[in-house]
Amino acid sequence: MQSIRVDSTLIDCFFIYTMESKNRQAFHEYYFEDKLVAGMVLAGTEVKSIREGKVSFSDSYCFFHKHELWIKGLHIAEYKFGTTNNHMAVHDRKLLLNKKEIRKWENKLKEKGFTVVPLRIFFTESNLAKLEIGLGKGKKLHDKRETIKNRDAEREMKKYIK
């Protein structure tokens, strides 16, 4: 902790390091109906790699197994200072949610076209790693083009306002 003096008063400076990794491609591929924040079961070296930002969402998705929600295909790189106890980069990880939320999403997932997609990984104020997941429906090609057109139009409007 570092202290600085401003007008004869001491102020303690805490450097808050926030790390967040987003799955930007998911917003391009899906419409999201609902979002949840879930905890994850992680090893210590996995947490350290997430803090360094060594996370890749490519080809990752969530699935239900025995009334539990799991994430598959999430790549968390091995921690470079890890020893023989280092984790595997890609393996299934359990997500922590309430039973009520799990049942609700499991029923919605049975409907045609819905999938559970990881959106972002972040740390809370109490330094817990959390994963935001979304219940999404896939976009068609013309929907993607429309989204791009709307985004470009908004960008042009902001440009003229300034």
Closest CA to 97 of 43, 33, 39, 34: 39
Structural tokens at position 77: 């790189």
Instruction: State the pLDDT at residue 10.
Output: 42
Domains observed in the chain: 21-161 (2.40.280.10)
Q: In this predicted model, what pLDDT tens digit does every residue of 32-85 receive, in sequence order?
A: 888 999 998 887 888 888 888 888 888 888 889 998 999 998 888 888 877 777
The pTM assigned to this predicted structure is 0.73
3-state secondary structure of 118: strand
CB-based contact 114:64 (threshold 8 Å): no
Tokens at 89, concatenated: 């980069």
Confidence of residue 18 (pLDDT cuts 50, 70, 90): low
Q: pLDDT averaged over the chain?
A: 81
Strands 129-138 and 114-123: what pairing?
Answer: antiparallel
